[in-house]
């Protein structure tokens, strides 16, 4: 006779032919009981954990709806059978059979100890396998993005209802979201004129009365009855001057909720789902699964930072014991999320620094001679930044530094000096700008700055898309043989044919305008040149941005870069006068533009931001341009610039404007990037309230670059009080950092950076404005990497996997 193991193996083998749960009469679930009996008889109670594990999987099998899941389940069963009864209880629990959840006693009692270290496959099972979730409900949940048990477990409440803090009816305020407990005084059902059924309940709690009305829920008449106590939560509306509820959530008061002073979760829902139902389902899922999810955070780290373990955090974030626990749970989940993010960032940095950089010998005297040869004195902020860069260049590690400074703060000269120092050491440098115009401006700036260079001035060449034919070939040859010291250019610098003899410094201007791949491509050029070196060098990297980045964002997004800040303007800069203009004053604004043009100056007019699409935005810009040209400024020379124009067209218009051949440049937000037209003195922004503050500040930076007084006029289209207040902030300060911080707080990081800033994983739990948390997380991540740079230790294995998962969703590398 077959042993129970052989018998089951034969059945499973038969099942692998079709995976239809037909290998044994009644299905594997039914066979589970027989197996348990026979196996217990054969192997004794010592093997019960193993027997149970197999039985659980057999019971779960019929619930698995897809073939791949069944294949996986069978594989697992074969593995268990092979391991045999002496293997003990397997660490991974079975895929959640519906019946299983029901049988589980409350969670803490079953928390396996030690906690699991492997992810149970059941977490990825579809939601239909949860008791109480049918096909229709699962489809509704899918609309919330919830497809697997894991999704549900990590679907966190929007807020918690605090039943320990109920409000009396006479203290309700319009518009607030509240929960009350009241008695039903009377009810009434009727048909509305539009043919809907309406059901109304008059409620009282002794302090006052309030009406609640529901539409198209006739069954409520059966369930909400006169004299009954109910709990209502929803927003306080008003009708005919009296407070009321419209279609609020309701439920009978549950003693358990009330007397424990419990915090009850409220989830975001979709049509057809109720919080009451979801809470019940969630309770079961959380009780069973929370203790079974392995915790990626190692124990000693949790202890060092006072963090809850994952099981507790998950339970408490859904069903908190009290507010303190809720806070701790949220903190722990946010910590984990940022921690994994930071590990990814910091590992990139380690990786970058694991290749040697060119150690550039820079003598102090030589450095001072260079600085003295510049046409102006560096500000102390510029000197400090340059000092930090020089220290990096002297070190054997490749620099990765962000140079941050407001528009006009003088970043270019700092980068220019660094590049010349590299050239002086016989190596090469490259500077990449996002547009041809900018590249050309940089080229001219460099030539000017190097005019009095002590010794041989570096050879600088410009390489853009317009560089063609013989000139291009010549530049390619010069870069390859090293006769060109410094290349300034656009994307043309990262084309296939471009090779450098010895590229030691890469400078990227307005770095957020470039995609991740392009930035990586330019850095890669540093390696091409040093092929003969074993392993090669990484070039030093300096990225420049005029977007003032609040420290919290710096730590998150550019956390792998060192940062230098130029927080001081060169002397003699005239602040741009900023005014918020109401729509009715627009004519006056136009008159002002005209008066400036008559004085020989130029102006920008920015069209309102159109979110819909670049195409619609372009169309709106064309219309605005035509209107201005025909109706407002028929006698002036207007140009148009928008995102749908070809690169060459854009360049041509900007160049014409820069040469003074146009009086007014009508543009969409594409003009934001660093073009320098010193003769432009007016920046008029239409629909200013639609732009972010940091962006308005960038617009403003386009003027005030010359000797003439300059103006920024912000026309608010529909100024709500908040919108006006925001704009007043731009009026009140010229400090980009202050505006950026405000912007970040108001709009969140995604908006702040613009949608093009991808490569940044989504954060669900954490707000990256929480600086204190971020700093702790960062410290924790650095410590961990110091001990285990490659996350190779067994206790870090799960962490390593999470890092990979998070970073593979974005582009994987941020700069
Ligand atoms: P940004 O930081 O916006 O790139 P730039 O490097 O273009 O600023 O500098 C803006 C202007 O200020 C340029 O015309 C530059 O020559 C000038 N500038 C830079 N540094 C100084 C300084 N220390 N003293 C005087 N003018 C300076
Ligand atoms: Mg610049």
What confidence tens digit (pLDDT) does each residue in 683-736 have? Answer: 999 999 888 887 888 889 889 888 899 999 999 887 677 788 888 889 988 888
| The 562-566 sheet, strands edge to edge | 460-463, 486-489, 428-432, 503-508, 540-545, 400-405, 562-566
- For the cut 60, the answer to whether the pLDDT of residue 541 exceeds it is yes
- For the cut 90, the answer to whether the pLDDT of residue 671 exceeds it is no
Report the distance separating Cα 484 and Cα 500, nearest Å. Answer: 9
Pocket probe mutation, ligand 1, options 570, 677, 734, max atoms within 8 Å of Cβ: 570
The closest ligand to the CA of 706 turns out to be 1
Q: Is 411 in the pocket of ligand 1 (CB under 6 A)?
A: yes
User: How much is the pLDDT for 530?
Assistant: 44
On average, the pLDDT of the chain sits at 83
Residue 692 DSSP SS3: coil
- For the cut 70, the answer to whether the pLDDT of residue 305 exceeds it is yes
Per-residue pLDDT tens for 173-209? 888 878 888 899 999 998 888 888 899 999 998 889 9
Per-residue pLDDT tens for 589-617? 999 999 999 999 999 999 987 766 778 88
- For the cut 70, the answer to whether the pLDDT of residue 762 exceeds it is no
Pocket probe mutation, ligand 1, options 412, 488, 674, 678, max atoms within 8 Å of Cβ: 412
Determine which of 49-58, 222-231, 374-383, 667-676 has the lowest per-residue pLDDT on average. 667-676
Question: Cα(745) to centroid of ligand 1, in Å?
Answer: 30
628 DSSP 8-state letter = I
Compute the CA torsion angle 350, 353, 355, 360 (nearest 10 deg). -170
Distances (CA, A) of 315 to 158, 471, 568, 736: 15, 68, 50, 43
> Which segments of 451-497 does DSSP mark as H helices, in order?
469-481
User: How much is the pLDDT for 561?
Assistant: 81
Ligand 1 atom at minimal distance to the Cα of residue 412: 6
Q: What is the pTM of this model?
A: 0.63
Which of 124 and 69 is assigned the larger pLDDT? 124
User: How much is the pLDDT for 164?
Assistant: 64
Closest Cα partner for 558 from 331, 341, 408? 341
The residues, any chain, with a CB within 8 Å of residue 117's CB and separated by 6 or more, are 91, 294, 794, 797, 798
Ligand 1 atom at minimal distance to the Cα of residue 407: 3
pLDDT-derived band at 94, boundaries 50, 70, 90: very low
Which of 417 and 322 is assigned the larger pLDDT? 417
User: How much is the pLDDT for 567?
Assistant: 87
Strand partners, 684: 605, 713
Q: Is 379 in the pocket of ligand 1 (CB under 6 A)?
A: yes
């Amino acid at each position: 006779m077959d042993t129970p193991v052989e018998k089951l193996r034969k059945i499973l083998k038969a099942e692998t032919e079709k995976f239809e749960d037909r290998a044994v009469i009644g299905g594997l679930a039914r066979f589970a009981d027989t197996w348990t009996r026979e196996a217990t008889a054969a192997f004794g109670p010592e093997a019960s954990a193993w027997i149970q594990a197999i039985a659980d999987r057999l019971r779960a099998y019929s619930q698995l709806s897809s073939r791949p899941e069944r294949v996986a389940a069978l594989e697992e069963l074969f593995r268990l059978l092979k391991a045999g009864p002496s293997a003990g209880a397997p660490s991974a629990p079975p895929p959640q059979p519906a019946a299983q959840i029901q049988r589980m006693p409350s969670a803490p009692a079953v928390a396996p100890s030690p906690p699991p270290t492997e992810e149970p496959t059941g977490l990825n099972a579809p939601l239909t396998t949860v008791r109480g979730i049918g096909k229709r409900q699962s489809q509704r949940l899918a609309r919330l993005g919830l497809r697997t048990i894991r999704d549900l477990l990590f679907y966190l409440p929007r807020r918690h209802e605090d039943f320990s803090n109920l409000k009396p009816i006479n203290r309700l305020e319009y518009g607030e979201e509240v929960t009350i407990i009241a008695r039903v005084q009377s009810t009434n059902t009727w048909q509305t004129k539009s043919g809907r059924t309406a059901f109304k309940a008059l409620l009282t709690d002794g302090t006052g009365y309030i009406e609640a009305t529901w539409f198209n829920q006739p069954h409520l008449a059966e369930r909400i009855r006169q004299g009954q106590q109910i709990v209502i939560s929803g927003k306080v509306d008003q009708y005919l001057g009296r407070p009321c509820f419209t279609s609020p959530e309701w439920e009978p008061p549950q003693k358990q909720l009330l007397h424990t002073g419990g915090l009850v979760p409220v989830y975001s829902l979709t049509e057809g789902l109720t919080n009451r139902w979801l809470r019940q389902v969630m309770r079961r899922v959380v009780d069973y699964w929370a203790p079974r999810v392995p915790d990626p955070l190692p124990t000693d780290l949790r202890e060092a930072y006072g963090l809850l373990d994952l099981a507790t955090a998950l339970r408490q974030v859904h069903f908190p014991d009290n507010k303190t626990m809720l806070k701790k749970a949220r903190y722990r989940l946010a910590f984990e999320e940022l921690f994994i993010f930071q590990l990814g960032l910091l590992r990139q940095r380690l990786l970058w620094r694991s290749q040697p950089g060119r150690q550039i010998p820079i003598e102090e005297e030589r450095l001072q001679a260079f600085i003295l040869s510049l046409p102006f004195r560096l500000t102390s902020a510029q000197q400090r930044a340059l000092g930090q860069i020089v220290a990096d260049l002297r070190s054997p590690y490749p620099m990765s530094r962000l140079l941050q400074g407001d528009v006009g703060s003088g970043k270019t000269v700092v980068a220019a000096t660094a590049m010349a120092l590299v050239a002086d050491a016989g190596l090469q440098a490259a500077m990449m700008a996002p547009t041809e115009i900018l590249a050309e401006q940089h080229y001219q700036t460099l030539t000017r700055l190097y005019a009095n260079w002590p010794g041989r001035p570096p050879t600088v060449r410009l390489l853009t898309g317009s560089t063609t034919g013989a000139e291009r070939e010549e530049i390619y040859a010069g870069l390859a043989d090293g006769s060109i010291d410094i290349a300034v250019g656009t994307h043309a610098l990262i084309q296939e044919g471009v090779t450098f003899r010895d590229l030691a410094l890469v400078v990227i201007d307005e770095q957020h305008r470039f995609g991740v791949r392009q930035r990586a491509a330019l850095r890669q050029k540093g390696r091409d040149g040093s092929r003969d070196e074993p392993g090669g060098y990484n070039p030093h990297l300096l990225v420049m941005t005029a977007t003032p980045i609040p420290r919290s964002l710096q730590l998150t997004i550019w956390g792998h870069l060192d940062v230098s800040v130029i927080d001081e303007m060169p002397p003699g800069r005239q602040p741009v006068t900023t005014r918020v203009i109401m729509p009715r004053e627009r004519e006056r604004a136009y008159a002002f533009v005209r008066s400036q043009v008559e004085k020989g100056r130029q102006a920008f007019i920015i069209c309102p931001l159109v979110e819909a699409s670049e195409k619609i935005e372009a169309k709106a810009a064309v219309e605005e341009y035509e209107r201005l040209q025909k109706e407002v400024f028929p006698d002036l020379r207007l140009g148009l610039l928008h995102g749908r124009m070809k690169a060459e067209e854009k360049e041509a218009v900007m160049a014409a404007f820069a040469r003074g051949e146009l009086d007014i440049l009508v543009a969409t937000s594409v003009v934001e990037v660093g073009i320098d037209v010193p003769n432009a003195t007016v920046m008029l922004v239409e629909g200013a309230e639609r732009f972010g503050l940091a962006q308005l500040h960038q617009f403003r930076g386009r003027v005030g670059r010359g000797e003439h007084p300059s103006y920024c006029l912000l026309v608010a289209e529909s100024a709500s009080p908040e919108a006006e207040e925001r704009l007043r902030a731009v009026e009140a300060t010229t400090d980009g950092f202050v505006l950026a911080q405000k912007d970040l707080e108001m709009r969140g990081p995604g908006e702040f950076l613009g949608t093009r800033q991808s490569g940044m994983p989504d954060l669900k739990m954490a707000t990256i404005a929480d600086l204190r948390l971020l700093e702790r997380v960062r410290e924790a991540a650095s410590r961990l990497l110091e001990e285990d740079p490659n996350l190779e230790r067994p206790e870090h294995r799960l962490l390593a996997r999470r890092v990979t998962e998070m970073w593979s969703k974005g582009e994987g590398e941020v700069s």
